[in-house]
Structure 1
Amino acid sequence: MADNTDLFSLAGKRVLVTGASSGLGRHFARTLARAGAQVIVGARRVDRLEDLVADLNRDGSNAVAMALDVTSRASVIACLDDICRRFGGLDVVVNNAGVSDTKGVLEYTDEDWDAIVQTNLTGAWMVAQESARRMAERGGGSIVNVTSILATRLAGAVGPYCAAKAGLAHLTRSMALELARHRVRVNSLAPGYVMTEINQAFLQSDAGERLKRRIPAREFCQLDDLDGALLLLASDAGRAMTGSEIVVDNGHACSGL
């Protein structure tokens, strides 16, 4: 029988996490570092990542922060080239950077639309495409696109976000189809409503309580609930998975509410 003790280990893997300055990305970086990865965190302002990198390194990791604007291909290329030059390659990308807004469909402007779609879809595309090029040259890798249950279900006042995440979910499958021959896996992680510092006030409000009652488990996800799915997609435990989506939402997507 095979020894599965280290099945989810990321020891020796070089991992880039985008959008790591807060929320899910910050937590993902910590999870991946605990699994043994060499973690690189990217953001437009590196200073916003300094405390995260310091925390990870105090715990014995070897994390670094790099400047990265996912809406600029030049910035994406410069960041990835720097990673490959400094660390010899890139094994895993967690494509997490994203933004949103809350407005009625008649209130959104073209500028709102462009800002949301440029980051959540176009930016994710550029990071995935440029990462895949480098992974293919070095024998493979894993790309994890962070989507949302709103890629398949609806919520009011977040139309551009829903459109961008739906596009990213379908793009994930399309890229997986073409890149399998290069041993580059592309999967998506679709969280439901997850309690973070950013949304805690809303989720604990009366409106949040009403939302919670539409979730079959009657509770929001916690950040730790995403760890197993993330490590499965990032590690060799998921080596035969590509074009897959893992939904972590306490049953919300299947509720129909």
Structure 2
Amino acid sequence: MSAGTELAGRLALVTGAGRGIGEAVVAALVEQGARVLATDLAFENVTALAEKYGEQVTVRPLDVTDAAAVEALVAEAERTLGPLDIAVNVAGVLRSSDVLDLTDEDWAATFAVNTNGVFHVSRSVARRMAGRGRGSIVTVASNAAGIPRAGLAAYAASKAAAVMFTKCLGLEVASRGVRCNTVSPGSTLTDMQRALWTASTDQEEATRRVIEGDLATHRTGIPLGRIADPADIADAVVFLVSDRARHITMHDLYVDGGATLRA
């Protein structure tokens, strides 16, 4: 997306902003003129953003699983930076395991971030947005929320819950001018994706397998023939929070190159 002023004057909160899709979302929002409050559990991952973008980006550590910490941060942001116009839930974790080997701790930890974290952040910002009669919330989910994936039961289930939660929230606050949507990426070149490639030390080979699919695990390939770049996901997010999407809410936008055949 070319630089512009589409989001000039707006303040956005982004979780999981330290790398991957979250970092790309921050860059895309800044490019369109927004000020951004970039947060991450690993604070060292976001400090470089403040150095790179200057006053346009404020960084704070945030554990989205801690409801009190989320509420305190949102309250501080609104007091010191101004009203939040945009919130983007990117923070997420992936712990891959077949269900028969999945531990209680891995299941709980996955839902704590991917589902509870979305609830904590969305609830806090939506209360304020609804009172002002405007705002946009986008949750970055996954195409795994809509199609079964071997070894990803906890991740897929947590993302499916986040999608439906965001739609229900969107229904409740639509009459008060707040739009709530989700973006569901497929395979994207991030550290999370690379962590799934540990069985192969050859990135080119691992990439080919993702694009072509895997009959043994009932995984479809990617019809467009490429793995997404984080910027592809960020561009979808920026569209949904912009006025170009002013009549779109409760929508789940798949950005996966056709990988799920929109099942």
Common fold by TM > 0.5? yes
Structure 1: gaps (5+ residues)? 1-5
Mapped pair 1:98 → 2:95: no
Distance 2:12 2:168 in 1: 22
Q: 2:134 aligns with which of 126, 131, 140?
A: 140
How does 1:39-50 map onto structure 2 within 5 Å?
A: 39-50=36-47
Tell me the equivalent position of 1:13: 10
Question: Percent identity at matched positions?
Answer: 35
C-alpha displacement at 1:145, in angstroms?
A: 0.6
Mapped pair 1:28 → 2:25: yes
- Answer with 241-250 or 209-218: which moved more: 209-218
C-alpha displacement at 1:182, in angstroms?
A: 1.2
Change (3 A) 1:113 1:193: same
Distance 1:96 1:231 in 2: 13
Mapped pair 1:212 → 2:216: no
What SS does structure 1 have at the residue aligned with 2:99? coil
Tell me the equivalent position of 2:173: 179
Change (3 A) 1:139 1:52: same
**TM-score between the two structures when normalised by the length of structure 1:** 0.91
**Residues 156-187 of structure 1: CA distance to partner in whole angstroms, max 9, x if unpaired?**
11110000011111112111111101111100
CA RMSD of aligned residues (A): 2.0
**Residues 10-66 of structure 1: CA distance to partner in whole angstroms, max 9, x if unpaired?**
100000000011111011111111110001111234333111221122xxx511111
How does 1:114-193 map onto structure 2 within 5 Å?
A: 114-193=108-187
Tell me the equivalent position of 1:228: 235
Q: Check conservation: 2:15, 2:40, Cα contact below 8 A.
A: yes
Distance 2:20 2:82 in 1: 29
Distance 1:173 1:7 in 2: 29
- Answer with 36-45 or 157-166: which moved more: 36-45
- Answer with 38-47 or 88-97: which moved more: 38-47
Mapped pair 1:246 → 2:253: yes
C-alpha displacement at 1:151, in angstroms?
A: 0.6
Tell me the equivalent position of 2:34: 37
Structure 2: gaps (5+ residues)? 213-220
Distance 1:115 1:27 in 2: 25
Distance 2:262 2:254 in 1: 13
Q: Check conservation: 1:216, 1:255, Cα contact below 8 A.
A: no
Distance 1:99 1:223 in 2: 16
Report the number of matched residues. Answer: 249
Q: Check conservation: 1:12, 1:38, Cα contact below 8 A.
A: yes
Mapped pair 1:109 → 2:69: no
